[in-house]
Amino acid sequence: MKAHLLYPSRDFDWHAAPAWAAETLTQDLELNTLFAAMANGDKFLFEAARKVVLSSISDPDLLNYRQAVLRDCLANAAVVVSIYQIAVEAIEREKKDFWRVSIKSPGLILSRAIDVLEMFMGMLVRLRSTAEQNSSAFHSEGFGKFVTMLKTELADEYLATVSKHLKQLRFPDGILLSAELGRGNKGVNHVLRARQESDGLGWIERIFSRRPEEYTFHLHPRDESGFSALSELRDRGINAAANVLAQSSDHVLGFFQLLRNELAFYLGCLNLHKHLAQKKVLPTCFPVPAPAGGSRHTVRGLYDVCLAVRQGDSVVGNDLDADGRCLAIITGANQGGKSTFLRSIGLAQLMMQCGMFVPAESFCADVREAIFTHFKREEDATMQSGKLDEELARMSEIADHINSNSIVLFNESFAATNDREGSEIARQIVSALLEKNVKIFFVTHLWEFASGMFEKHMEGSIFLRAERRPNGLRTFKVLQGEPQQTSYGEDLYHRVFNAIPGPGKSEIGEDGGR
């Protein structure tokens, strides 16, 4: 039995190693805030969100498969939660109600396996019943396969047969074994045999019918050696059956674990969607994943979902028309929302490439093989070299792992040196990446770099600027516009010393984004 709610033809690998850039992505895009919102206090949901979101996929068909499953989850949230709870209950009951066999006794192993399987059969019946009762409400291929699997593999006839076999394996009438005599008249090839059915004979016929010749012996109540030998003989006979049933119980447990793991991601999506829906003014949409190899990026009302989770509904959405553009350079006033906008781009790309909805009114972008970030770091007293060396070392590591058709987000990179040197480093790195069809979003205050790239009128580039009103007010809108030589740092000076009015502290996000 397979769940196949994340992949149409394989299971999600819960134990797969994270991508190389996972830790850096988590730090730079503040993903723990996203995971916490999806988890809603549940540690397992947090881990499921982390594993699936960071396991980025680049197949548009697979992304559409997951989106369809998520649409079903949003439309049938209560049913999906019930299915998840059944899986969790089955796993917890197996762990708490049935002791683990530490002594490798076939009898004990068989007894536990029967108890566990009988419990699992009851849980599977509940699962099938829940799915069947609501089958008409599901329209995705993933849930369609899931419901069909439960109906076909857990038919009443099959469940009745399993129940019958489990009762027989409790041996209410004793154990029937066959064996052969081996060397030294020792028993070999012990085989557990099923007792023959009565073939519909009445009780009178069964009494007077001819039976096979039998021989019976009895052990003395104090014959410990005899009892030990008989117990050993019994264990030899049931050993194979015990192993098979133990494997069967593990197989059913594995199914419930897979179902829990895959549904946990969708429950996280439900939690996040509910959280954003309560704000009413924060839209979400299902993105349109374009095939790899192109350069699509058109969005409406895109906002930083992590900032929205922290600050509520006081966030500003941005639009972007960057189809056919592989380079976006973002400049503008300090605390104008540039870093927030950059994070919103990265978060939406990650959310799209795991099959989620995205925080926007509409979103269409091409899928990318990998997502990397290169954000500025605060001063670190433990550093053995300067900040520029540290930045270049991180860039070198990215270069070792990057491939064509990736996306890189730069935030104030290479600003640890003077403008001229930093601009030249940025120009050479950006030029090399563009040759490999790498999409780049670059937030920078390096005037020579930004203006030099603008003056080249490069095809496939777009220049954005954080909006600043004449009175110094930041709207936190990022609009298309050429670079300016000033970042209006004097606005911050005057605001600190109350020389001119400006937006209050409560209106500004941690990095200037609303």
- Here the tokens at position 278 are 């309560």
Helices (H), 417-471: 419-435, 447-455
Of residues 304 and 493, more confidence is placed in 304
Q: Which residue has the tokens 């009565």?
A: 198
Per-residue confidence band for 307, with pLDDT thresholds at 50, 70 and 90: very high
Rounded to whole angstroms, how far apart are CA atoms 471 and 462? 27
Rounded to whole angstroms, how far apart are CA atoms 298 and 321? 5
Rounded to whole angstroms, how far apart are CA atoms 345 and 444? 16
Task: Write the DSSP string, 156-203.
Answer: HHHHHHHHHHHHHTT-TT--EEEEEE-GGG-EEEEEEEPPPP-TT--H
Rounded to whole angstroms, how far apart are CA atoms 450 and 446? 6
Task: Write the DSSP string, 1-34.
Answer: ----SSSSSS---TTPPPPTTHHHHHHHTTHHHH
Q: Comparing C-alpha atoms, which of 336, 317, 361, 320 is closest to residue 507?
A: 336
Q: Comparing C-alpha atoms, which of 362, 345, 348, 359 is closest to residue 300?
A: 362
DSSP β-ladder status, 407-411 and 371-375: parallel
Rounded to whole angstroms, how far apart are CA atoms 62 and 353? 9
Quick check: 349 and 372 in contact, CB under 8 A?
A: no
Of residues 480 and 386, more confidence is placed in 480
The reported pLDDT for the residue numbered 184 is 74
Find the helix packing angle between 43-54 and 31-39, rounded to 10°: 130
Q: What SS3 class is residue 127?
A: helix
The reported pLDDT for the residue numbered 506 is 36
pLDDT digits (tens, 9 = 90+) for 308-361: 999 877 799 999 999 999 999 999 988 889 999 999 999 999 999 999 999 999
pLDDT digits (tens, 9 = 90+) for 110-163: 888 899 999 999 999 999 999 999 999 999 999 999 999 999 999 999 999 989
Of all helices (H) and strands (E), which one includes residue 372?
strand 371-375
Cα 243 → chain centroid: 33
Tell me the average pLDDT across 180-193: 74
Task: Say yes or no to pLDDT of 510 above 50.
Answer: no
Backbone angles phi, psi at 125, to 5 degrees: -65, -45
Quick check: 401 and 370 in contact, CB under 8 A?
A: yes
Q: Which residue has the tokens 């030294």?
A: 184
Edge-first strand order for the sheet with 362-366 is 288-290, 362-366, 297-302, 318-321
Rounded to whole angstroms, how far apart are CA atoms 209 and 215? 18
> What value, to the nearest 5°, has the Cα angle with vertex 286 and ends 284 and 289?
135
Backbone angles phi, psi at 27, to 5 degrees: -70, -50
**What's the per-residue H, E or C state across 341-352?**
HHHHHHHHHHHH
Q: How many CB atoms lie within 10 A of CB 326?
A: 19
pLDDT digits (tens, 9 = 90+) for 430-474: 999 999 999 999 999 999 999 999 999 888 999 999 988 877 788
Sequence-separated (6 or more) residues with CB below 8 Å from residue 123: 86, 89, 90, 93, 256
Tell me the average pLDDT across 265-288: 94
Counts for the chain of helices (H) and strands (E), in that order: 16, 12
Residues forming a β-bridge with 374: 410
Residues forming a β-bridge with 180: 188
Backbone angles phi, psi at 299, to 5 degrees: -135, 155
- CA distances in angstroms from 499 to 333, 436, 491, 492, 494, listed in the order given: 18, 49, 9, 10, 5
The reported pLDDT for the residue numbered 485 is 74
Per-residue confidence band for 512, with pLDDT thresholds at 50, 70 and 90: very low
